[in-house]
Amino acid sequence: MNFYAYITGKNKYSFSPLLAAATGRIKPLKGQKPGAGDAVLFSFQSPDWKETWETLKRLPRGVVKVAGGAHPSGLPLHALDMGFDFVFSGEGEEHIHSLLNFLEGRGEPPPCLWSRERMGTVCRGVEIEKFAPFAEDLPIPIEITRGCPFLCAYCQTPRLSGRKMRHRSLETIVRWVEKLVNRGMKDIRFITPNGMGYGGRGGAQPQRLLSLLRLLKKKYPRARFYMGSFPSEFRPEHISLSPMKALRNLVSNRRVIFGAQSGSPEVLRRIKRGHTVEDVVRAAEVSLKANFRPEVDFIFGLPFDDEEESLRLMKRLAEMGARVHAHYFLPLPSTPLALEKPRPLSGPFLREVEKLTGAGTLFGQWKRQMALSLELYRLNRMFSTPYVGEEDKGNEKENNRGAPSR
């Protein structure tokens, strides 16, 4: 039995560490024609499900089709309805060999494997320090942290990867940066749900992050390091002036990204963002003082959003010199808002948004996401299973311990 991975530019971040953990047992699908009895593995997010479905339909009969990634993990019954034989839900490194052995007819299936005959769980909690961040022939940004203690109601991360933050050590990160530098790569990026949280349990730990970047900059002075931009954004309440000034001399990005999502204090409370509107304004002020241009995420169409308050905050940020990165609410599977209907945008709000766009202070794919949003809402209504995410109340004081003083 041959194992192939259908790899694209959209899913290589998911597949690269999995290929490394599989130790050569999975080959990228590059022109080969899998036959009956072979298995093809897919990984995809919700916006890409139709594109994946079209590819799936072109596979020959008898090919075993396995789905993984954020969308199948959160909506396994939909992935099975698409035509997959099996769905792997959650993090794969620890279970990839048991999955492959099972497909070969040897051993039991991993606990998070779904099929038409069995319901699975969600595999989470992988200690990333034990696994390579990427396969040698598929280099990607180095994941330095996995898991997020915050419970933003629209986000899949804590539900699929858990609330415990797991970090790679400085020594391990240096070793993998060296591999990238030796390949001739000069731009080095990192993957983390919260760049300022590196080394901690949820609160801001700027000195740990700065220690890492200083070490890397000293060891590889010709490399260009990026932190605070995609895919290593910050939380607004974790941004403070002294660390940001120090960061400015260590990284090559001149933009920093953090989320506001709404300008309404009540909406921020309801979506469990864990910060205030004032935190967002202060983060923008601090970023500008440190000579970074802030790009602030907003989500349009939240089911209970206050357009007037969001618009007021967006205009204030634009006047300060920040840019707004606009998204439209996607009810992602396995989140508390998965079954909430997106809210249509009013005419006056849209006219003001167009003004901001014309002025160059607002950008994003929010228009394209509007149709997808309703589509996901309908899919969730049809295929959602009983909620399986980590939705305990947690200890918010502990989660935020180490945050900078106001």
In sequence order, which residues have a C-beta less than 8 Å from that of residue 245 and are 6 or more positions away? 289, 290
CB 190 within 8 A of CB 226: yes
CATH topology of domain 3-114: Rossmann fold (3.40.50)
Looking at the chain, the whole-number percentage of residues with pLDDT higher than 90 is: 93
CA neighbor of 174 nearest in space, from 138, 120, 124, 225: 225
Q: What is the model's pTM?
A: 0.91
pLDDT digits (tens, 9 = 90+) for 143-176: 999 999 999 999 999 999 999 999 999 999 999 9
Q: What is the pLDDT of residue 390?
A: 47
Q: What is the pLDDT of residue 32?
A: 86
Q: Which two tokens stand for residue 301?
A: 């169409």
Q: What is the pLDDT of residue 321?
A: 97
Q: Which residue has the tokens 């194992």?
A: 3
CA neighbor of 131 nearest in space, from 92, 104, 161, 158: 92
Convert the chain into a string of H (helix), E (strand) and C (coil): CCEEECCCCCCHHHHHHHHHHCCCCEEECCCCCCCCCCEEEEECCHHHHHHHHHHHHCCCCCCEEEEECHHHHHCHHHHHHHCCCEEECECCHHHHHHHHHHHCCCCCCCCCEECCCCCCCCECCCCHHHCCCCECCECCCEECEECCCCCCCCCCHHHHHCCCCEECCHHHHHHHHHHHHHCCCCEECEECCCHHHCCCCCCCCHHHHHHHHHHHHHHCCCCEECCCCCCCCECHHHCCHHHHHHHHCCCCCCEEEEEEECCCHHHHHHCCCCCCHHHHHHHHHHHHHCCCEEEEEEEECCCCCCHHHHHHHHHHHHHHCCEEEEEECCCCCCCCCCCCCCCCCCHHHHHHHHHHHHCCCEECCHHHHHHHHHHHHHHHHHHCCCCCCCCCCCCHHHHCCCCCCC
Q: Which residue has the tokens 């929010």?
A: 366
| For residue 394, pLDDT beyond 50 | no
pLDDT digits (tens, 9 = 90+) for 230-263: 999 999 999 999 999 999 999 999 999 999 999 9
pLDDT digits (tens, 9 = 90+) for 54-105: 999 999 999 999 999 999 999 999 999 999 999 999 999 999 999 999 999 9
pLDDT digits (tens, 9 = 90+) for 179-235: 999 999 999 999 999 999 999 999 999 999 999 999 999 999 999 999 999 999 999
Does domain 141-399 fall under CATH 3.80.30.20? My reply is yes
CB 273 within 8 A of CB 399: no
In sequence order, which residues have a C-beta less than 8 Å from that of residue 142 and are 6 or more positions away? 133, 134, 168, 173, 176, 177, 180, 188, 189, 190, 191
| For residue 398, pLDDT beyond 80 | no
pLDDT digits (tens, 9 = 90+) for 116-133: 999 999 999 999 999 999
Q: What is the pLDDT of residue 402?
A: 33
Cα–Cα distance for residue pair 197/145, rounded to 1 Å: 9
Q: What is the mean pLDDT of the chain?
A: 93
Domain positions in the chain are 3-114, 141-399
Cα–Cα distance for residue pair 394/304, rounded to 1 Å: 24
